[in-house]
Structure formats: C-alpha cells, structure tokens
Amino acid sequence: MTPPLIHLAEAQKSAPVTDWAARIGWVVGLLVFVVFVYWLMRQGWKWRGTLQGDLPELHAAPADAGEPKLTRLTGRYHGSTTAGQWLDRIVARGLGTRSRAELTLTDQGLDVVRPGAADFFVPAAALRGARLDKGIAGKVLTEGGLLIVTWEHGGRQIDSGFRSDRADEHPAWVEALNELSTTEHHTSTTEHTETEGAR
C-alpha cells in the first residue's frame, strides 16, 4: 500500500466520535434554564397581580349603552399601565392579558369586548383623554401606531393601548374620546360646584 493510501486510511479511522452524552447534557441544561426563567416570569406576574389586588372589579357595559359615536374599532388590545409610566404594567383584573378587541364608543362610555379575555367598560365620566403613541409595556411600534386611552378606576389613572386593524382610524378615535372626556369632566365639575353652592 502506497504511503498516501496509508495516511488516508488512518485519517478515516481517527474520525472523532460524537459524544452524545455531553450533547444531551447541554440540551437538558438549556431546557432547565428556559423553564426556570419562565417560572421566574410567572412568579413576577403573580407578585405584580398581588400588589395590584386593591384594584376594584372592572365595570360591565350597561344594557342600553346608546348609539355608537364612531364605527366600531376592531384590532388588538396590547395591555394597560399606570398612566404616564409606559413600563409599569397593570395585570390585575385581566388587564395584563393581550387579546383581540372590539371597541365601541357611545355617550355612556367605552365598551371593550375581548374574545378569550375579560371584557370591560369605561364609563364616560372615567375617561381622561386619548393620544397616539408608539409603545406600551412590552410593545413598541412606529410613532403613532398605538391608540392610548387614559381612564380612571379605583382612584388609579390607567393607560390602555389599542391598535386598530386600520391605523387610519386612530386620529378620529383620539378626537372623539377627548371630546367625550372633556364634556363629561366639565359636566361633573359643574354638578359638583352647584352641589357645593346649594350647601
């Protein structure tokens, strides 16, 4: 056998053997790490929910909410945070669950229907305004990609983020929500002043 052929045969015999035990160990270790991280996230979620346990039950839509002020908005609900603090997520009362959503705005308030998650209703008197923004707790989009509705519940100011399937609807919703919240705030202030004056 010529020298080149001898070297070729030796090279074929000395091919490294795969260490399956080491590979399986690495895979198992990685899976354990992923499960541990997921468990920590779940614990953090539960802890946050416990801290926010003083948030009252959300309102249900009235039987007769009136005629819609705008065409119903269909899209996604991306979550709620403490107003003005876009990373301080609120998870209590199901507000932390992302879902599809259908919004209806009437003189009575904002009705949020969420397939697969808890529906809720924001009375007109609780609305504090609306704006366009680009991010809310874990979701960042292009500038103006999110409709942020600010409302009050249980003495807490809340920002809730929505994205319509048709983003060109956002400006009209901001205008209508701001108009309704301003009207309701003015009415509530007038009624309070009149009541104080009567005393």
Strands 146-153 and 127-133: antiparallel
pLDDT at 50 over 90: no
Within a 10 A sphere around the Cβ of 143, how many other Cβ atoms?
A: 9
* E strand or H helix at 106: strand 99-106
Q: Which amino acid is at 197?
A: G
- CB-based contact 91:83 (threshold 8 Å): no
Helix (H, G, I), strand (E, B) or coil at 98: coil
Question: How far, in Å, are 26, 41, 79, 137, 167 from residue 94 at the CA level?
Answer: 38, 17, 9, 15, 25
Q: Which of the two residues, 190 and 78, has the higher pLDDT score?
A: 78
Confidence grade of residue 22 (pLDDT, cut at 50, 70, 90): confident
pLDDT at 6 over 80: no
Residue with tokens 């009149």: 194
Of 1-15, 81-95, 121-135, the least confident: 1-15
Average of per-residue pLDDT values in the chain: 81
Length of the chain in terms of residues written:
199
Concatenate the DSSP letters of all residues of 146-186 into one string: EEEEEEEETTEEEEEEEEESSGGGHHHHHHHHHHHHHHHHH
pTM as predicted: 0.71
